Amino acid sequence: MKRYFVLVFVFMPAIFTAQDHQFILFDVAFTYTKEDADNSKPSKSHFYVKDYLMNPDRPIDWTAPVNYREGKVHVRIEVLEKPDVETPSTWSLCYIPNKGRGNGYGCTSTGIYYEEGTYEKDIDMTSFWENESIIWSEGIKQMDLVIKDDSGGQGHAHKRIDHENYFPTRVRITMVQVAQDAVYNPAILPVKPLSVYN
């Protein structure tokens, strides 16, 4: 399936860089189909946020001079289309570092949702799965977003016999990194997503 990227650059420079000790790691809207899930490589049910979908001004060192590693991440998901309101869905949000140890990456999530709407939460950067497997002073190269059911780590949506309840879906997912002792300021969020994948 041929895909097109549309990048939106109509924002003030401060939005994509540190502001009040926070920065947008990525902000992308995309449609995700069963075909996408079956054909994503190297892993199924994955949507890969890398290269120009990532904030090019994100820091290399997340520990200094501003400590984002011990801050919070503000996760926002706007569920624009969802085929079934009875089916619990979630996206795992996995940090892929330039350099890791042990497991080599760590994941947080959007949380479980059932219907279209906007869901937001703040997550401590020291609380999510395998966060210590990332060498934060070496930076993050990409994010892997994984659509799942509510059964846990292996509940990838493409494996479901009722996959029509998960696909197609359209979401806008944004992650804002907030430094230690700072507070998320929603003014950083643009009205339209910074990147669109159709």
Apex 90 CA angle, 72 and 120, nearest 5:
40
**Got the DSSP string for 158-179?**
GG-TTGGGT-SEEEEEEEEEE-
CA distance linking residue 60 with residue 134, whole number of Å: 13
Per-residue pLDDT of the chain (198 residues; tens, 9 = 90+): 445 444 444 344 344 445 679 999 999 999 999 999 999 999 999 999 999 999 999 999 999 999 999 999 999 999 999 999 999 999 999 999 999 999 999 999 999 999 999 999 999 999 999 999 999 999 999 999 999 999 977 899 999 999 999 999 999 999 999 999 999 999 999 999 999 987
Q: Give the chain's domain count.
A: 1
Range of the domain at 84: 5-197
DSSP 8-state class, residue 44? T
Return the sign of the alpha-carbon dihedral for residues 132, 151, 41, 172.
negative
The first and second tokens of residue 76, run together, are 């926002």
pTM of the model: 0.90
Q: Are 121 and 90 in contact (CB under 8 A)?
A: no
